[in-house]
């Protein structure tokens, strides 16, 4: 079976009505990750177990310097190089959120982390407007509904027991989409908030993240 994340990404790119709707509002989908998918496939083959974990760590959507390039949530190329040390990578891009997240992964232990957590975003692809990242809540409402339907389809394959939302906006979205209490929902500050407003405390936050993730 195709990886649920790849399947979701491909659905976006094949949906001409969706891309047309975005273009009407000056928004495009980040597609560079397609060029580098073989590296994402290698990462998945090496680290993701079968069946996939049912505890989900969830962000909003990829950014242009991180997962928008690698196609892997919260992984930039510099972090991916650490995870695939024997594979020459074509880029060395780095991004603050991915940098922080990778430090957490290393603190937990890479294999232990990816055996325990499925990492994703509400939107499997990133968006760009006027050369800048455009987050999914900034999309037209009709496009937001498509994003949420695709996210729920991805989660139907994972069947999560627990979702750890990164940021209050993600938490509010998940609570709205899973109102019946079937999924346990918790919250952690988004890595971008930590790297923007608590940079001097970043290592302390790595330890706090690790502790909260492993509490179960």
pTM listed for this prediction = 0.96
Q: Go through 115-148 and write b for each residue having 16 or more CB atoms within 10 A of its CB, e for each that does not.
A: ebbbbbbbbbbbbbeeeebbbbeebeeebbebbb
Domain ranges of the chain: 4-214
* Cα–Cα distance for residue pair 153/52, rounded to 1 Å: 15
Greatest distance between any 2 Cα atoms in the chain: 46
pLDDT tier for residue 1 given thresholds of 50, 70 and 90: low
Question: For all residues of the chain together, what is the average pLDDT?
Answer: 96
DSSP letter, residue 128? E
Mean pLDDT of 95-109: 97
pLDDT score recorded for residue 86: 96
* Cα–Cα distance for residue pair 179/135, rounded to 1 Å: 23
CATH of domain 4-214: 3.40.470.10
pLDDT score recorded for residue 2: 73
φ and ψ at residue 77, rounded to 5 degrees: -65, -35
pLDDT score recorded for residue 96: 96
pLDDT score recorded for residue 14: 96
**Chain segment 170-180, per-residue pLDDT in tens:** 999 999 999 99
Residue 58 pLDDT > 70, yes or no? yes
**Chain segment 200-210, per-residue pLDDT in tens:** 999 999 999 99
C-beta of residue 30 within 8 angstroms of C-beta of residue 125: yes
């Amino acid at each position: 079976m195709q990886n649920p994340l790849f399947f979701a990404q491909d659905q976006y790119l094949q949906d001409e009505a969706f891309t047309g709707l975005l273009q009407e509002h000056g928004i495009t989908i980040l597609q560079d990750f397609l060029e580098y998918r073989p590296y994402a496939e290698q990462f998945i083959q090496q680290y993701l177990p079968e069946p996939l974990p049912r505890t989900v760590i969830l962000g909003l959507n990829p950014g242009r310097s991180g997962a928008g390039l690698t196609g892997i949530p919260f992984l930039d190329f510099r972090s991916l190089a650490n995870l695939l040390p024997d594979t020459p990578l074509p880029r060395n891009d780095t991004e603050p959120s991915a940098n922080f997240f990778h430090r957490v992964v290393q603190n937990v232990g890479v294999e232990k982390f990816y055996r325990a957590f499925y990492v994703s975003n509400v939107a499997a692809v990133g968006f760009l407007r006027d050369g800048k990242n455009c987050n999914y809540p900034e999309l037209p409402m009709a496009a937001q509904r498509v994003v949420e339907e695709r996210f729920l389809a991805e989660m139907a394959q994972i069947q999560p027991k627990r979702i750890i939302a990164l940021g209050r906006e993600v938490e509010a979205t998940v609570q709205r989409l899973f109102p019946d209490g079937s999924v346990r929902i918790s919250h952690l500050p988004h890595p971008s908030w930590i790297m923007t407003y608590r940079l001097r405390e970043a290592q302390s936050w790595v330890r706090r993240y690790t502790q909260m993730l492993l509490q179960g």
